Structure 1
Amino acid sequence: MTVNHAGALKKEYFLSYLNLIKISRNCTIEQAKEIAIELFFHHNAEEYGSHTYKRFWDAFQELNVELLTPYRNAEEYGSHTYKRFWDAFQELNVELLTPYRLAV
């Protein structure tokens, strides 16, 4: 995908970019995120500025939430299973946000 260096890229750009990586490489959204950080940002959050990086993280979070939608109904899976899932997600979410917190 061509990048215009004139301004900050939008979240919609990264939604498309992450989905493209996910589909073309047949990988998870987490793996797509890692690939994008390597290939697009070159492991440098400031490569295209903090606004662009934040929008990248916003897009990643949106895609992550879409994946979790089936688990929102705790009764369907039982409260204990849902609690364990939610605790694991919260722990993972903190790990995912750490690079963003350092970049801003």
Structure 2
Amino acid sequence: MTVNNGGNLSIEYFISYLKLVMEARSYSLEEAKTFMFINFFKKNNDTYGKESHIKFMQAIERIKEGN
């Protein structure tokens, strides 16, 4: 998925992205989270801004809750 460096990304965006990684790589949620931290965020939580990272973490919680 292509992302511009500036925008705040939505919770729904991250849910979709995490589910895609989980499905395509047969990863658990924790493995997908690590994969995205390394490959998407480039090992820096603020790569796409603090708000995007907060929404990433909220997306993880929603997936854990089954939503």
TM-score, length of structure 2 as denominator length: 0.92
Please give the secondary structure, in 1, of the residue aligned with 2:44: coil
The residue that corresponds to 1:52 in the other structure is 52
Partner of 1:63: 63
For the residues of structure 1 that align with 2:4 and 2:43, how far apart are their CA atoms?
Answer: 19
> 1:6 & 1:32 partners in 2: Cα distance?
23
Alignment of 1:15-34 (within 5 A): 15-34=15-34
Structure label with greater radius of gyration: 1
Secondary structure of 2:66's partner? Answer: helix
In 1, Cα distance between the equivalents of 2:60 and 2:7? 20
Residue 52 of structure 1, CA deviation:
0.3
SS of equivalent to 1:8 = coil
Moved over 4 A (4+): none
Gaps of 5+ in 2: none
**Paired-residue identity, %:** 36
| 2:5 and 2:47 in contact (8 A); partners too | no
How high is the TM-score relative to the length of structure 1? 0.61
Query: Offset of 1:4 from its aligned partner?
Result: 2.3
Residue 7 of structure 1: aligned partner: 7
Question: More helix per residue: 1 or 2?
Answer: 1
* Number of positions where the alignment pairs a residue of Structure 1 with one of Structure 2: 67
**C-alpha displacement of 1:22:** 0.1
Residue deviations 1:42-67, cap 9 Å, x none?
11011110000000000011101218
Residue 20 of structure 2 aligns to a residue whose secondary structure is helix
